[in-house]
Copies of this chain bind each other. A is one copy, B any other.
Amino acid sequence: MEENKENLARPTAQDVARLAEVSTATVSRFFSQPGRIRKQTAEKISKAIEVLGYVPDLNARALASRRADVIGAVVPTLENAIFAEGIESMQTWLNKRSITLLVASSNYNPDREYQQVQRLIAHGVAGLLLIGTARHDKTRQLIQARKVPYCLSWCYRSSNDEPQIGFDNYSAGAAMAAEILARGHKRIAVLSGVRDWNDRATDRVQGALDAFAAAGVPVANDALIEVTYNHELAASAMETLLQRHSDLTCIFCANDVVAAGALRQAHIMGRSVPEDISITGFDDIAMAQVLTPALTTVRLRHKLMGELAGERLLEAVELGHKVRPENIPYSIVLRDSLGDCPNS
């Protein structure tokens, strides 16, 4: 009687078994191998489940079967739309396969990344998605020691032989630089994201820097400013840039958010884009096309990447092999913010 209170709130497989007049083993098989159960037995069980409102306890299942239907991901932050989008579609993909995605944020901090990886491992994740290549060695060691299948994402460096599915940021940076150079720009500045512990930002900027230098228009040291992922800081950096070099004709921005800030600041300072000065972005987040002028940027298929990473990682987990590296192509989206160099 009174013990039913508990049972009502959280019926167990035991309860289901009792009501359906079968053993718990059969109930368990009802879920894991429905084909191996007689139709009439299955109906009894499924009715009992219905009646009791039974929901299997995934913790117990994970413990007993020593595998969890959970994949973990540690992203820098969900506030960055590219990660939010990628994670969202990865999750959607995984959910279709009854896999849960457990997301944690590191806030771009390798120490926190380590903690989060540890937390995810403690939760028994079957696989791990990490962002980029830069991280503490102990983080790698932990993953190695636990033999957790993993995959790096948003990055692709041919020099790196870790499993990775992402974009070749260096070459994409160079490609955008080429577009800029093709329009005759010679006085160029760079608005970078924070590069410390961020290989994506590093590669993007380096790709562009190298391309500019190779074309004989190197970017001066004081024409490169690093800012965190934030409109306002980008705007004030833009102001600084324009004060230092009033003759700039193009700003290469390492991401769209920074570009948006720069665009805004240009407007405030009365420089029209792209007539007086050109600005390019990176990522092609949704916002890029509603800005005025619409942002010329590098399109990265973040959602596709998320899906692909989910698919490949799951495959790797199930088949027990490593994820095969994949370089997802980028493209340059020419909109209005990049124009020909004025006075040339």
Contact = CB atoms under 8 A, between A and B. Distances in A.
Given A145-B9, A231-B290, A58 B122 contact: yes
A60 B63 contact: yes
B91 A87 contact: no
A63 B57 contact: yes
B57 A124 contact: yes
A288 to B, nearest CB: 10
A128 to B, nearest CB: 13
A310 B191 CA distance: 36
Q: What is the predominant secondary structure among interface residues of chain A facing chain B? A: helix
A78 B53 CA distance: 30
A309 to B, nearest CB: 15
Interface in A192-232: 230-232
Contacts of A100: 102, 104, 119, 123
A16 interface: no
Contacts of A81: 79, 81, 84
B122 A105 contact: no
B77 A88 contact: yes
Interface stretch (A178-186, A257-265, A325-333): A257-265
Interface of A: 8-10, 53, 55-60, 62-63, 68, 77-79, 81, 84-85, 87-88, 91-92, 95, 100, 102-105, 107, 116, 118-119, 121-124, 142, 145-147, 230-232, 235, 257, 260-261, 263-264, 267, 286-287, 289-292, 294
B122 A55 contact: yes
A129 to B, nearest CB: 14
Contacts of A85: 78-79
B84 A79 contact: yes
Contacts of A87: 78
Given A79-B84, A290-B231, A59 B68 contact: yes
A289 B84 contact: no
A84 B80 CA distance: 8
Contacts of A264: 289-290, 292, 294
A107 B92 contact: yes
16 contacts: A9-B147, A55-B122, A57-B124, A58-B59, A58-B124, A78-B87, A79-B88, A81-B84, A84-B84, A102-B102, A231-B287, A231-B290, A261-B290, A263-B290, A267-B292, A290-B291
